[in-house]
Amino acid sequence: MTTDDIDTLEEHERRLVFDRFGNDDAWALGSLLVGLARERNAAVTVSIRRGSQRLFHCALPGTSADNDAWLDRKCRVVERYGEASFLVGARFRAKGRTFEESSRLDPDRYAAHGGAFPIRLRGTGVVGAVAVSGLAQADDHALVVEALERFLRPA
């Protein structure tokens, strides 16, 4: 990862912020993500959480329980660091280290791989996470960012 790549990931975090986020928003965002995945024939699992409550979950054909485990591990990174799992991993890689070896966190519980993105409320901070598992990590991240950009686009 280059500094430019990290700058782009950080810019996503600054820009993709919610004014509010409720259960109906989770349903709409999750449905949008599932629709995008279906258009691309992408075998992914989608999860949206607010705190410890799962508000949305959908496993498309071709996924397995392993995708659920990846979602849990990536979302724990968002909860702990308050940033996208891909950004956290990128920062470690940019320093020539791996998250697994340098974070001192159990790799069976935490994964700094792309696909989990913070649900950040303006004036409040991170309240949850939206996550995708099933593609290459950069593609998982890109799918979530695309859905957030569409969802947060002014009407």
* pLDDT tens string 50-85: 999 999 999 999 999 999 999 999 999 999 999 999
CA separation for the pair 154, 107 (Å, rounded): 39
Quickly state the pLDDT bin for 154 (edges 50, 70, 90).
confident
| Residue 12 CA neighbour count, 13 Å, CB half | 24
Matching residue, tokens 């940019």: 94
- Average pLDDT, integer, range 18-45: 98
In this structure, are residues 19 and 122 in contact, taking their beta carbons and an 8 Å threshold? yes
Output the pLDDT for position 2. 66
Q: How many CB atoms lie within 10 A of CB 46?
A: 29
- What would the mean pLDDT of 114-125 be, rounded to a whole number? 97
pLDDT at 1: 58
* Spatial contact of 13 and 87, defined as CB atoms under 8 Å apart: yes
